[in-house]
Amino acid sequence: MAGVRAPEPERPYGYVGPAELYATVRPDSEGRVVRSAADLGAWLAECSPAERAEPFTYVVGTDGWLRLAARRSEHVACAGGRDVLAAGEMLFEPGAGCGTAVEISNQSTGYCPDLDSWTAVARALDRAGVGHPCGFTHAVVFRRCEGCGERAIVREDDFVCVFCGGNLPEQWNLAP
């Protein structure tokens, strides 16, 4: 059809965090795959009330499925050491059986996903039948400083490296 564009392909993000964390990933460390709201409800029911009260670590694998792990888990472990389409933290409605994500971020210093990773998050949640907001509730802008090589977070649209004072690029540049 004229005028109808196919959705943009989702970009995979490779791990860009510390090598010593990547070295700790075990083959069985992958997060819990959520294929349906029932999967989510069953997993939340297994979590303690304290765990359910705080955000979980999540990734969206290159297969498009959402994976969850306890908040203090590393994203690279949740992903089983593989590339992802998105990574961050996700909080669900209070209660064991609720199937709605109420807070979602792209906060992952191991993968540093760009804001366009929201598409993969929304698609994974829709695919599983899990309700969600219309975008990141806490969006983080990551860049690598081309001067000193550090991973940096852009705050308040100030594209200046906090480590060396150099200018940060406007475009995402954290590919491994």
pLDDT single digits (tens) 102-142 = 999 999 999 999 999 999 999 999 999 999 999 999 999 99
**What is the enclosing helix (H) or strand (E) of 59?**
strand 56-61
Burial 36-46 (b: 16+ CB within 10 A, else e): ebebbbebbee
Residue 6 has what pLDDT?
A: 43
Least confident of 57-71, 85-99, 135-149, 150-164: 85-99
Residue 112 and residue 49 share a domain: yes
Expressed as residue numbers, the domain containing 129 is: 19-139
Residue 89 and residue 78 share a domain: yes
**Cβ neighbour number for residue 87 with a 10 Å cutoff:** 28
Residue 157 and residue 134 share a domain: no
Rounded Cα distance between 144 and 152, Å, is: 6
Residue 77 has what pLDDT?
A: 96
Residue 89 and residue 125 share a domain: yes
Residue 62 and residue 38 share a domain: yes
Rounded Cα distance between 44 and 48, Å, is: 8
Count of domains forming the chain: 2
Residue 121 and residue 84 share a domain: yes
* Domain membership flag for residue 42: yes
